[in-house]
Amino acid sequence: MITVIDYGMGNIRSVVKAVEKYTADVRVSGDPSSILDSNSLIMPGDGAFGMAMENLIKMGWIEPLKSYIKRGGRFLGICLGFQLLFSTSEEFGMHDGLDIIQGSIVRFTGADRKVPHMGWNNVEISVKSAHMDGIKTNSYFYFIHSYYPQIEDRKWIIGEVDYGVRFPCIVGKGDLIATQFHPEKSHNAGLKIIRNFVESSCR
C-alpha cells in the first residue's frame, strides 16, 4: 500500500492521479498509524513551511514519520514535502524542519531572477540512482517555489538546477527520494520518477 500523507497542504489529488496511472494500491491518509501497513509514503505539499510543520505536529506525524524514514522506509517527498526534510527554514521567520537532511531552506535573492521560480528548468542529474532510471540528465521539470535548500552533506544530492544560484532539487539516499519540482506536473520525465517509485514499492 502506498500512502499519500494528507496534512492539509495541498496538491494531494494531482499526486494520487499520477500514482493511479501505475497502481490502484494507493490511499490518502491523515492518520499517522497508517504508516504501520504502508509499503511506501508520499508527502506532497504546497504552501508555507511553518504552517506545514504545525499541522504535522498537531496531527501527530512528526515522530512516526522521522522513525519511518530513519529506519529506511520507502519515501517520496514533493515540493514542500522536499523542503520539510531539511533542518530549518527561514520562510516567514525561522522554523525547525524534520532534520533528516542537514541544511537550511532560504529565500532566493538578487534582482536578476523573478521570485517565485515558476516554470520549466532543466536538471542536471549528478549521480546514478535507481530512482532516476530511464531519465536523461538535463531533462526539464516544472518548478514553483520561492525558497531553496542550502545543503551541508552533498552525498544526498542526486540532481541540481541553476536559477541564479545552483542548488539541489533532487535528493535521496537508499529508498528515500525527494524533489523540489512537481514530478506529477512534469510530463514524461516527471511521471517516470513516479513510475520508478511505484514499481519499487510493488516489488
* CATH code: domain of residue 45: 3.40.50.880
Q: Are 196 and 110 in contact (CB under 8 A)?
A: no
60 in helix, strand or coil? coil
Cell of 154: 552533498
pTM comes to 0.96
**Cα 119 to Cα 51: distance, rounded to the nearest angstrom:** 24
pLDDT at residue 28 greater than cutoff 90: yes
Name the band, by pLDDT with cuts 50, 70 and 90, for residue 2.
Answer: very high
Interval 23-41 mean pLDDT = 96
pLDDT at 193: 98
* Nearest by Cα to 83 from 8, 158, 174, 150: 150
Q: What is the mean pLDDT of the chain?
A: 95
pLDDT at 167: 97
pLDDT at 27: 97
Residue with cell 512516526: 64
122 in helix, strand or coil? strand
Interval 195-203 mean pLDDT = 89
Residues 115-132 as b/e (b if ≥16 CB within 10 A, e otherwise) read: eebeeebebebeeebebb
pLDDT at 10: 80
Q: Are 35 and 65 in contact (CB under 8 A)?
A: yes
The catalytic position among 79, 117, 131, 145 is: 79
Note the pLDDT tens digit of each residue in 127-176: 999 999 999 999 999 999 999 999 999 999 999 999 999 999 999 999 99
User: Is-catalytic flag, 95?
Assistant: no
- The radius of gyration of the chain's CA atoms, rounded to the nearest angstrom, is 16
**Cα 2 to Cα 88: distance, rounded to the nearest angstrom:** 27
The catalytic position among 91, 95, 131, 184 is: 184
Note the pLDDT tens digit of each residue in 76-121: 999 999 999 999 999 999 999 999 999 999 999 876 789 999 999 9
Q: Is 160 exposed, middle or buried (0-12, 13-18, 19+ CB in 10 A)?
A: middle
* Nearest by Cα to 27 from 11, 13, 47, 10: 13
User: Is-catalytic flag, 20?
Assistant: no
* Nearest by Cα to 193 from 10, 202, 182, 203: 182
Task: Compute the half-sphere exposure of residue 44: CA atoms within 13 Å on the CB side of its CA.
Answer: 25
pLDDT at 11: 77
User: Is-catalytic flag, 79?
Assistant: yes
Structurally, the chain folds into a number of domains equal to 1
Interval 30-45 mean pLDDT = 96
Range of the domain at 176: 2-201
